[in-house]
Amino acid sequence: MTTYQNWQNNETLIKDLQAVEEMINQHIRIKNKQIEAQIKQVTNNHGKMLRPLFVILTSKMGNKYDHNKTIALAAAMETLHMATLIHDDVIDQADTRRQIPTLHTVKDNRYAIYAGDYLFSICFNMLSKYTEEFDILNYNARTMEKVLIGELDQLEARFTPPKSVKRYLSRISGKTAQLFAVSCYIGATESGASLRDRQRAYNMGKYIGMAFQIIDDILDFKGDEKNVGKPVMADIRQGIFTLPLIYSYQQQPDAVSALLKRPKPYTDETIHALEQQIIQTEALDAAQRLAERYTHKALATLSKLPEGSYKAMLGQIISDMLERTL
């Protein structure tokens, strides 16, 4: 089930993303065909394929372009992302992702843990086969490290007072923005871009990822289950206190704190009261403004990159991501 966005009716891009999907499928080869099919069901149930999209677009930045390599590196990024999603779903005990039952629900946690690990190994298999830059491999390994440090911090911080915007930003920088940053970096590097432009591509990706995660966290408050693909306010129920709640807490520490101290799991009434607090303090607007700031930083960085037709498309995608409702 594919959910391409409006901005993805560019035929070349669609074809490239289909090639990415095929490349991932080709690499998943398990003697036990039942297990193989189950893992492929997960990888084929992808979302917007944003990370591969950024690899593909930034790979047009320099004057070298190798189609197969680009597709493989884009596939590696998507596979890494999927591996983390499978483990996230085990950890959150999420029953569905994008309306499809999650692997640990269809089989069990044990399968899902190994399947995630398997996808990690596929990612590094692809990378080591297709790139000639050790730098890229090392960036990837360190990206994966930062993703996990972010996730571990998020676990540790569960149900602790939502005080620090700084800690929130540092966490989402690890768990989300790094993978966008490295996707743009990989494309730029393989295209033969200058060191300075690679660094810019990395920064642009990081800003894109920050905005993306903030919007994601806003949608957890605003979206309905059918659109967002997971229950609304799922984060708060799990003790993950994101930016809107932090802003709300900063304005009304006593009221928010009293609500958060209530017995867990929170009742629907508590969740509703927290929702009211967030509305009253206009915390969603404040969060939206921060996402806008990151989007503007991403666009400003993009404007400094070498000219080329890829830039208009990238700019449009970055802007559209800010407006997304799912």
Distances (CA, A) of 46 to 93, 149, 281: 19, 24, 35
Rounded Cα gap, residues 150 and 168, in angstroms? 9
- Of 121 and 280, the one with the shorter C-beta distance to a second copy is 121
Query: Which one of the spans 47-55, 138-146, 228-236, 240-248 is the region binding a second copy (CB under 8 A)?
Result: 138-146
By CB under 8 A, tell whether 35 contacts a second copy: yes
Residue whose C-alpha is closest to residue 302's, from 188, 138, 164: 188
DSSP state of 173: I
By CB under 8 A, tell whether 64 contacts a second copy: no
Binding letters toward a second copy, positions 68-107, x by CB under 8 A: ---------------xx--x--xx----------------
By CB under 8 A, tell whether 117 contacts a second copy: yes
- Of 157 and 273, the one with the shorter C-beta distance to a second copy is 157
Rounded Cα gap, residues 103 and 109, in angstroms? 8
- Of 166 and 226, the one with the shorter C-beta distance to a second copy is 166
Please state the closest distance from residue 322 (CB atom) to a second copy, in A. Answer: 29
Rounded Cα gap, residues 47 and 52, in angstroms? 11
Rounded Cα gap, residues 275 and 183, in angstroms? 35
SS3 of 17-79 = HHHHHHHHHHHCCCCCHHHHHHHHHHHHCCCCCHHHHHHHHHCCCCCCCCHHHHHHHHHHHHH
Query: Which one of the spans 110-118, 203-211, 290-298, 306-314 is the region binding a second copy (CB under 8 A)?
Result: 110-118
DSSP state of 324: -
By CB under 8 A, tell whether 111 contacts a second copy: yes
- Of 135 and 320, the one with the shorter C-beta distance to a second copy is 135
**Any residues with CB less than 8 A from the CB of 214 and at least 6 apart, and which?**
172, 243, 287, 288, 290, 291, 294
Please state the closest distance from residue 121 (CB atom) to a second copy, in A. Answer: 4
By CB under 8 A, tell whether 4 contacts a second copy: no
Sign of CA dihedral 47, 239, 209, 319: positive
By CB under 8 A, tell whether 166 contacts a second copy: no
Determine the 3-state secondary structure of 101 from DSSP.
strand
**Any residues with CB less than 8 A from the CB of 281 and at least 6 apart, and which?**
247, 248, 251, 252
- Of 25 and 252, the one with the shorter C-beta distance to a second copy is 25
Question: Binding a second copy by CB under 8 A: which of 7, 25, 30, 100?
Answer: 30
**Is the peptide bond preceding residue 101 cis, with omega within 30 degrees of 0?**
no
Question: Binding a second copy by CB under 8 A: which of 118, 202, 221, 266?
Answer: 118
Question: Binding a second copy by CB under 8 A: which of 4, 7, 65, 120?
Answer: 120
Rounded Cα gap, residues 107 and 63, in angstroms? 47
Query: Which one of the spans 6-14, 44-52, 132-140, 318-326 is the region binding a second copy (CB under 8 A)?
Result: 132-140
Question: Binding a second copy by CB under 8 A: which of 9, 12, 31, 226?
Answer: 31
Contact residues for a second copy, defined by CB under 8 A: 30-32, 34-35, 83-84, 87, 90-91, 109-111, 113-118, 120-125, 127-129, 132, 134, 137-138, 140-142, 144-145, 147-149, 151-153, 155-156, 170
